[in-house]
Amino acid sequence: MKGCINNIIPFSAVDGVGNRMIVFFQGCNFKCLYCHNPETIPFYSVADYKDGMVMTPEMITEKAKEQMPFIRGVTLSGGECTANYDFLLATVKLLKQEKIHVLIDTNGFVEQSKLIELAKYADGFMLDIKAMDSGEHICLTGVSNDLVLASFETLLKMGKLTEVRTVVLGNLIDSRSTVDAVSKMIAAANPEVPYKLIRFRRHGVSEAGKDLEIPAESLIEELKQLALRNGVVTVITL
């Protein structure tokens, strides 16, 4: 089995606690206006893929073993890695056979049966919740958030949610109501799940996101306090 891998960063400080190897899968089912890596959005067939690497699960696992003993595990990201489900599942299984800690970084836009199967093997998931309002979500990503919210609940129930993230914007979406709702849901199910609020930045963003506004520092702090008040134990702001 082969998959299209846009890039691998052997040592990463920004994809989970500790040092992790991060694998960026090619292809995403969202088209977020603020995407920082728009080159990872298009899907390619293995035969046509020129921009990155065509790899097998064995090759990814071998690359991870090369980074030992310096890494704590591997984070599978994208693009949207769950969009390449069969290849992702095979990779996760193989990494776990080698007793390597695996986190999946996902937008949650995946059938629940597939998510449950992945969660049997993966150690945890980092889930993006971009907007609670479905209309806003469609505006921002091009698709509805029904599946995302289902994934949120599924992962919370399974105890496999490692982190939830929301990118805070200065306009387009009501970040306040999204943070309010998400933090309440986290607090109700498991207040220990960290919630990360990421301040929108322009770096890497394509023409499509040119009208998006960077939120004030004060809004980030206000939303952090809101999430804490709602009962989330750890709120991280970036």
Which residues contact other proteins (rule: CB under 8 A)?
A: 10-14, 17-19, 66-72, 236, 238
The 10 Å CB-count burial string (b at 16+, else e) for 131-159 is bbeeebbeebbebebebbbbbbebbbeee
Number of H helices, E strands in the chain: 7, 9
Q: What minimum distance in Å lies between the beta carbon of 11 and other proteins?
A: 5
Minimum distance from CB of 71 to other proteins (Å)? Answer: 6
Regarding beta strands 102-106 and 161-168, do their DSSP bridges make them parallel or antiparallel, or are they unpaired?
A: unpaired
Q: Which is nearer to other proteins, 10 or 170 (CB)?
A: 10
If the CB atoms of residues 135 and 204 are measured against other proteins, the closer one turns out to be 204
By beta-carbon proximity to other proteins, the closer residue of 116 and 198 is: 198
Distances (CA, A) of 230 to 56, 165, 174, 179, 188: 44, 16, 17, 10, 9
Q: How far is the CB of 75 from other proteins (least distance, A)?
A: 12
| Of 123 and 136, CB closest to other proteins | 123
Q: How far is the CB of 100 from other proteins (least distance, A)?
A: 13
Closest CB to other proteins among residues 1, 68: 68
In 10 A of CB 216, how many CB atoms?
12
Closest distance to other proteins from the beta carbon of 20 (Å): 8
Q: What does the alpha-carbon distance between residue 203 and residue 37 come to, in Å, rounded to a whole number?
A: 10
CB of 141 to other proteins, least distance (A): 26
Q: In this complex, which beta carbon is closest to other proteins, that of residue 13 or of residue 208? A: 13
DSSP code at position 231 = T
- Tell me which amino acid residue 212 is: L
Q: Of 100 and 156, which has the nearer Cβ to other proteins?
A: 100
Compute CA 32 distance to the chain's CA centroid, rounded to the nearest angstrom: 13
Q: Cα 158 vs. chain centroid, distance in angstroms?
A: 17
CB of 73 to other proteins, least distance (A): 10
Residues in CB range of 120: below 8 A, 6 or more apart: none
Here the tokens at position 10 are 């052997």
